[in-house]
Amino acid sequence: MVTFGTRPKPLGWGLTLVVLGCLLGALGQAASAQEVPELKVNSVQYIVIDAGTGEVFAQRGANERAAMASLTKVFTAIEAAPGEVVLETSEADLLDANNSLMGFDPGERLRLEELLYGLMLPSGNDAALAIARNLGGQPGDDPDQSVQRFVDRMNQRVADMGLRDTHLMNPHGWGVPDHYTSPHDLATFVMYALRYPRFVELISAETYETAEGFELRNNNRLLTDLDYPDLLGGKTGYDWDAGWCLIEVAERDGNTMISVTFDGVHENGDWYDDNRVLLDYAFEQKAQRASAGGQITGERVSYLDPDAAVIGRVAATGATLGSVPDPAVLGQTVSAPGMGPNPASVPAVVRPPTGGLTTTGGLGGSIVPALAVAVAIIGGQGMKSGMRHREVRRRFTVT
């Protein structure tokens, strides 16, 4: 059974945060979805949300920071640059066999599209470095500086969205200190990322063939091997720090759900089954409420539109909105480059429309509210701050 309690909201200070507080206050007090023990989810942390409304159906430890391994690559994919650009690999991108790899030699010229599929399907850490080094670099940078600039832009987008429990140290997720997110932040970011058709294509592809005829295969067995017909796609992650982590996205009856699990049980595909159970539960709960004519009364995740922060930084440089500086100067947060058409106009505090996901449109929108929220973001960010219990529950037979 889902139990509900009051979720306190942080108090504002100063004029700019008062503006933000008013926007958030209009959303109303939400109850907080809690763990659902009868689901017998074995992953240490989890959350499942409605991608169309932000409604949270169940969660455990969802606001706790943890390593997330290759789930990092959803942030990298969104930050990648626009256009059919060709990038050149280098020795600096090569990694040893302890890493998950796309596989290439130094000096190869690959289209960004190829590297993005190499990033997301076989989860190539080498592809992540090649993308970040090429797209982050400025004249005079060494490879490490180029990658760091790209990671700084990733962190800027996350901060602009108000995701307080995420900090990235590299573009691939190989465990290092201070590299973390939370299931809540990651599910919220995926809700944002699904607005971009290219991102949906990346997580949905079972295979991809490069120009040289090399086939890349998706590591996500819930998509490729296991029988879950509603699945749209997802992303796998694993290292010693993070354990077995998953993002999965599914569609049913016009609804889209996102599940995120951290530190699951690998044996017999249990970590995949955790996500199937969570997704089924969310679909069932929404269908039951809809049949009863009920409204959303529980917690809903939301995010600040990163474009609002860009508008604020443009204004601070003295530029006009008709002559926006190069995205690289602003951290490339005008849109999610490389992910297809810009998303439709959205309010500064974003909850996707009840009708579902938006995939087309432009920046647009009301400039004044967006700028006010951008200033509020600059005003400051707050900070948030078990025993593992193995449950026996098996739905898949994995060989």
- Render pLDDT for 228-265 as a digit per residue (tens, 0 to 9): 999 999 999 999 999 999 999 999 999 999 999 999 99
Q: Write the pLDDT tens digit of every residue in 113-152.
A: 999 999 999 999 999 999 999 999 999 999 999 999 999 9
Rounded Cα distance, 161 and 168, in Å: 14
pLDDT for position 316: 81
- Which stretches of the chain drop beneath a pLDDT of 50? 1-30, 321-399
Q: How far apart are CA 22 and CA 284, in angstroms?
A: 34
Residue 138 makes CB contacts below 8 A (sequence gap 6+) with 146, 149, 328
In this structure, what CATH number is given to the domain that contains residue 268?
3.40.710.10
pLDDT value at position 57?
97
> What total number of domains does the chain contain?
1
Report the SS3 class of residue 78.
helix
Domain holding 358, by residue range, is: 1-399
The pLDDT assigned to 319 comes to: 61
Q: In sequence order, what are the residues at sequence separation of 6 or more whose Cβ sits closer than 8 angstroms to the Cβ of residue 357? A: 51, 52, 194, 195, 256
